[in-house]
Amino acid sequence: MSDTQIIVGLEIGTSKVCVAVGEVSDNQVVNIIGLGQSKSRGVRKGEIVDASLVEEDVRNAIVEAEHMADVEIRSVFLGVSGSHMRGFNNTGVHPVVSADREITDADIQDVIKNAKAINLPSDHSVVHVIRQHFRVDGQDGVLNPEGMLGAKIEVDVHVVSGRYNRLQNPIRLVSGLHLEVDNIAFNGLASSLALLSTEQKELGTLVIDLGAGTTEYAIYSAGVIKHTGVMAVGGDHVSNDLAYGLKVPLGRAEQLKIDHGSAIIDPEANNRSVDLSTDSVIPGKKINLGHLQMIMSMRLQETFELIAKDIEQARLIDYLRAGVVLCGGGARTPYITRLARDVFNLPAAIGRSSTVSGIKNALDEPEFATPVGLIKFGAFQSQTTPRREGFGRVIRKQFASLFGGKK
């Protein structure tokens, strides 16, 4: 019988704290055995603004997951996000100096080291350096150059960085709960790990995680990560727009969004309304559904258009042959896939964690894509690096094979 280990993914989101507990076999099969979630009260736009509230919410989610999984959680892989994070591509170059020009493992390590020599702002820290492809004397798309002959070796990498202090805030909070942070991962990458098949990564797919305070996105093409991004715009902004446009309290706007919202405008909606005559806060008010849907659709369309513009500037729109995959709480919005199809002119679908097994909610509910992906991230790391190294060192390690490149 194969050995298994317990790996836990924790996402501290703007609207919810989500925990997933995975049982991982020695051949990397992930089985979700526990879930926990609680309402998040101290996070804005993906970042902590009230640590005491967040501590309580994380503790509640952890306890719920422990009870379901019947395990004691001692460490977690933590998802991070926020508008301070950025992704970009970089290239390392290294001359092959051996007499016979045969590329050795030492040459490969040197060129990767050169690719990681990145000029970042003084307050930024590297979260990921993800290997894409090698080039040998201009020959592109080399997966493993060891043993090849060449005068020059290059490597392309994707880098994700963020402000050090803002990355440390959730780490310190979790550590204060007597939980060890095994490592951190960008939420947008974690979601893609949970949702995408090998074929989708090869064909080219855009994953968009529609959260309450942030929207993260990641692009795979030719089997590797090509692009990542995050915007401090999410479902809370839709609720704010509704509160302002409909002249109702924010709590009522949020409920109207859940009960009557739509990503596209139903032509018949202008003839229908929601009667709030019995509402204790705003008695006698009627809400036109067409107006409500117009406000929602405009904000969601703008969000997708900003992502589309970024992708076009990166010249990646033509590489997305497998289309768009949506996750996060915003993916529950009716007709959201139709809006995505219209904006990107690509097929679009709600993501499902088909690469793992276990509790059905973890597989089908779009909110759990990030914590499930964090388990997959942790499972890969446990194969390639010793656990319990301490965050200060592991934050700068690369997890090439996990995100597409070869180890």
Higher pLDDT residue, 382 or 79? Answer: 79
Let me know if residue 65 belongs to a domain: no
So what's the pLDDT on residue 372? 95
pLDDT of 378 > 60? The answer is yes
The DSSP code sequence of 42-68 is: SEETTEES-HHHHHHHHHHHHHHHHHH
- Please list the helix, strand and coil fractions of the chain in percent, rounded to the nearest 5, in that order: 40, 30, 30
Could you tell me which residues are beta bridge partners of residue 156? 91
Let me know if residue 115 belongs to a domain: yes
Let me know if residue 352 belongs to a domain: no
Let me know if residue 150 belongs to a domain: yes
Let me know if residue 135 belongs to a domain: yes
Q: Is 10 left (phi over 0), alpha (psi -120 to 50) or beta?
A: beta
User: Residue 137 sits in which domain range?
Assistant: 89-157
Instruction: Say which amino acid occupies 283.
Output: P
Instruction: Say which amino acid occupies 93.
Output: V
pLDDT of 1 > 60? The answer is no
So what's the pLDDT on residue 280? 64
Q: Is 223 left (phi over 0), alpha (psi -120 to 50) or beta?
A: left
Burial track 198-207 (b if 16+ CB lie within 10 A, e otherwise): eebbbbbbbb
Could you tell me which residues are beta bridge partners of residue 277? none
CB 212 within 8 A of CB 250: no
Residue with tokens 């305070």: 213
Mean pLDDT of 70-79: 96
Q: Residue 395 corresponds to which tokens in the numbers above? A: 């934050």
- Cα 179 from Cα 12, distance rounded (Å): 14
- Cα 321 from Cα 337, distance rounded (Å): 16
Helices (H) and strands (E) in the chain, counts: 13, 19
Q: Residue 214 corresponds to which tokens in the numbers above? A: 């942030």
CB atoms inside a 10 Å sphere around CB 275: 10
First to last CA, the chain: 28
Let me know if residue 277 belongs to a domain: yes
**Predicted confidence (pLDDT) per residue in 98-137, tens digit:** 889 999 999 999 999 999 888 898 999 999 999 999 999 9
Instruction: Answer with the one of 248, 272, 293 that is the final residue of a domain.
Output: 293
Mean pLDDT of 21-38: 92
Instruction: Answer with the one of 248, 268, 293 that is the final residue of a domain.
Output: 293
- Structural domain tally of the chain? 2
Q: Any idea what DSSP says for residue 137? A: T
Question: What's the full length of the chain, in residues?
Answer: 407
pLDDT of 158 > 80? The answer is yes
CB 332 within 8 A of CB 294: no
The structure's pTM equals 0.90
Angle at 349 between CA 314 and CA 326, to 5 degrees: 60
- Cα 123 from Cα 398, distance rounded (Å): 20
Higher pLDDT residue, 282 or 204? Answer: 204
Instruction: Say which amino acid occupies 14.
Output: T
Q: In Å, how far from its chain's centre is CA 39?
A: 19
Contacts of 122 (CB under 8 A, 6+ apart): none
- Cα 25 from Cα 223, distance rounded (Å): 24
Cα Rg for the chain, rounded, in angstroms? Answer: 22
**Residue 405 pLDDT level (bands cut at 50, 70, 90):** very low
Let me know if residue 166 belongs to a domain: no
Instruction: Answer with the one of 107, 129, 157 that is the final residue of a domain.
Output: 157
Let me know if residue 21 belongs to a domain: no
Q: What is the CATH number of the domain that holds 123?
A: 3.30.1490
**Residue 285 pLDDT level (bands cut at 50, 70, 90):** confident
- The pairing of strands 75-80 and 4-12 is parallel
So what's the pLDDT on residue 28? 84
pLDDT of 397 > 80? The answer is no
- Cα 243 from Cα 233, distance rounded (Å): 16
So what's the pLDDT on residue 385? 61
pLDDT of 7 > 90? The answer is yes
- Give the phi and the psi of residue 135 in degrees, each rounded to 5: -130, 140
